[in-house]
Amino acid sequence: MFRNCTFIPKNIIKKINIIGSGIAGLAAAIRLSKKGYQVTIFEKNNYLGGKLSELKLGSFRFDKGPSLLTMPHLIDELSEGDPNLTLMPYTKLNTLTHYFFEDGTKIKATSTLNEFAKEISEKLNENETVVLNHLKKSAFYYKITSDLFLTQSLSKIKNFLNIKTLKGILCIPKLNLFRTMHYQNAITFKNKKTVQIFDRYATYNGSNPYKAPALLNIIPHLEFGFGAFLPKDGMHQITKHLHQLALSLGIEIKLNAHVEKINLQNNKVVGLTSNGVSYDCDSVLSDIDIHSVYEHLLPKEFKPKKLLSQEKSSSAYVFYFGINKEFNELDVHNILFSENYKEEFDCLFNEQKPYHDPTIYINITSKLCKLDAPSNCENWFVMINAPHNTSKEPITYGSELRKQVLAKINRMLKTNLESYIIEEAVLDPYEIEMQTSSVGGSLYGNASNNKFSAFLRHANFSSSIKGLFFLGGSVHPGGGIPLCLLSAKIVANLFPNQN
């Protein structure tokens, strides 16, 4: 578990090259530039942001990937200490999610805990106190684990030699690491719909609630404790905001800059090669999937075979629908649940195929961001959980999945959606891999379907190559916007101030 960390002498390392311009790469560049380093970002695409990019179809704008912002203070921090750096405007959502079930049951999850507990009590006959206690336990999980797992490297001995960490370690037996998320939820609630609502949070990092540890019940606290937010101009505004911060700090950004190799000398980073040109540096930070780093950018002897062979997270199949109708019963975030959740996850992780009755997530930013769709229209981001693509070949199940998705939406919302679609595009696991270098299109690197998953993620630095660091969703502390931002913070904290 413990490795020797690269020691960085003060006033020696000045130049840093970052591979990838996802939010972790951008955030790390900003933090390190403010510490006095010369930073250059190399992005293989002609746009920034990785998964956090956008798509425009006619008069409609869509966020291509992540659709939920929690812990926005991690973005605010990037503007601290410089009066010339602006804050990003965002709105806190009063309604977190609208849930729809096949029997017609509808649940409105509000950001007010007592209101949500009352809704669950009235609609699903649960005890309000039980719901509130479950959310309190979620907050307890966060309090215990945040300092231990989320804000520091797990690979430095000194990080475990303090009172906060010691208290966290002593509380590990209370974290239910040996129970699955579903088991914990099933013994807590009596209605299977309530269980399904809380099991759903496993999908926030592409995991299976029937295998993942109960510790993942920490995730509801990110919404109910910190709140759910939407940037004023949609999620892609995060990328645009970080881009502007980077430019204002003098960070160099190279687009269409495919990196072919990380250059080493005596097991130490000396630069990288992009488009056939070598760029010297003192350290390289990788914000791409660790599989791509070890498969394509480094000599084979450095490949950690056991770590790379771990089970991968799920991927997604996304339909972008421009709709010439407004659906008043929907909000920004909406879920249409499958009838049999266990069968759905067995299909995804065991049979490696989409379920015939998939849970459907519908995100409509135009509910708040009015410029995202024309008047009386809506921009529908329709996402279905899909297995990561092991075949490495283009996806062939898209047309059948589209029929199943439209049939389910029509049935549950009592509509004929296809008659309202005036713009359309898709994004599947194969294209996700092509665009983001995520192995098989897995959204979060390795899955968290293991009680030791928090300890098994790749460290934020290499133990065998000096000057090589890792951040983003495929390494510690994990996937999702807040964890990617935390990975950037962890890595930046490994570097001393040069100012």
pLDDT at 1 over 50: no
Alpha-carbon distance of 492 to 487, in angstroms, equals 9
Residue 339 tokens, joined: 């009838």
**pLDDT mean over 73-97:** 92
pTM over 0.75: yes
Alpha-carbon distance of 120 to 111, in angstroms, equals 13
Compute the residue count for the chain.
499
pLDDT at 2: 38
Alpha-carbon distance of 153 to 457, in angstroms, equals 11
Alpha-carbon distance of 421 to 167, in angstroms, equals 54
Alpha-carbon distance of 357 to 406, in angstroms, equals 11
Q: DSSP E strands: which ranges in 337-419?
A: 360-363, 378-386
Which is higher by pLDDT, 246 or 12? Answer: 246
Instruction: Please state, rounded to an integer, the average pLDDT across all residues of the chain.
Output: 91
Q: Choose among 374, 355, 358: nearest CA to 366.
A: 374
Token pair 């109708």 in the structure block, residue: 325
pLDDT at 221 over 70: yes
pLDDT at 148: 66
pLDDT at 452 over 90: no
pLDDT at 210 over 80: yes
| Residue 404 is assigned to a structural domain of this protein | no
pLDDT at 84 over 70: yes
Three-class secondary structure of residue 46 per DSSP: coil
**pLDDT mean over 10-33:** 90
**pLDDT mean over 441-466:** 81
Residue by residue, DSSP assigns 284-332 as EEE-S-HHHIIIIIS-GGG--HHHHTSPBPPEEEEEEEEESS--TT--S
CB 347 within 8 A of CB 353: yes
CB 79 within 8 A of CB 85: yes
CB 121 within 8 A of CB 189: no
| Residue 371 is assigned to a structural domain of this protein | no
235 DSSP assignment: T
pLDDT at 9 over 70: no
DSSP tally for the chain: helices H, then strands E: 16, 19
What single-letter amino acid sits at 23?
I
Identify the domain containing residue 76 by its residue range.
15-86+234-304+458-492
Q: What is the pLDDT of residues 411-429, one digit of tens each?
A: 999 999 999 999 999 999 9
CB 372 within 8 A of CB 319: no
Burial class (CB in 10 A: 0-12, 13-18, 19+), 431: middle
| Residue 27 is assigned to a structural domain of this protein | yes
How much of the chain, in percent, has pLDDT values that exceed 70? Answer: 90
pLDDT at 107: 98
Burial class (CB in 10 A: 0-12, 13-18, 19+), 357: middle
Q: What is the pLDDT of residues 260-311, one digit of tens each?
A: 999 999 999 999 999 999 999 999 999 999 999 999 999 999 988 887 888 8
Of 250-254, 341-345, 437-441, 448-452, minimum mean pLDDT range? 448-452
- Using 50, 70 and 90 to split pLDDT, how confident is the model at 444? confident
Three-class secondary structure of residue 392 per DSSP: coil
Three-class secondary structure of residue 414 per DSSP: coil
**pLDDT mean over 11-39:** 92
| Residue 78 is assigned to a structural domain of this protein | yes
Enumerate the H helices of 35-94 as residue ranges.
73-76
Q: What is the pLDDT of residues 91-135, one digit of tens each?
A: 999 999 999 999 999 999 999 999 999 999 999 999 999 999 999
Looking at the DSSP assignment, which residues form a beta bridge with residue 57? Answer: 60
pLDDT at 152: 59
pLDDT at 335 over 70: yes
Q: Could you count the other beta carbons within 10 Å of the beta carbon of residue 227?
A: 17
Three-class secondary structure of residue 253 per DSSP: strand
CA-to-CA separations, 415 to 326, 351, 420, in angstroms, rounded:
12, 32, 10
CB 289 within 8 A of CB 474: yes
| Residue 255 is assigned to a structural domain of this protein | yes
Q: What is the pLDDT of residues 128-187, one digit of tens each?
A: 999 999 999 999 888 887 776 766 555 555 555 455 555 555 556 566 667 899 999 999
Of 6-10, 136-140, 444-448, minimum mean pLDDT range? 6-10
Q: How many domains does the chain have?
A: 1
| Residue 321 is assigned to a structural domain of this protein | no
Q: What is the CATH number of the domain that holds 28?
A: 3.50.50.60
CA-to-CA separations, 3 to 31, 78, 119, 358, in angstroms, rounded:
24, 29, 49, 42
Q: Could you count the other beta carbons within 10 Å of the beta carbon of residue 96?
A: 21
Q: What is the distance of C-alpha 486 from the center of its chain?
A: 12
> Cα torsion at 343, 385, 439, 180 (round to 10°)?
-50
Q: Which helix (H) or strand (E) holds 129?
A: helix 128-145
| Residue 56 is assigned to a structural domain of this protein | yes
Which is higher by pLDDT, 158 or 86? Answer: 86
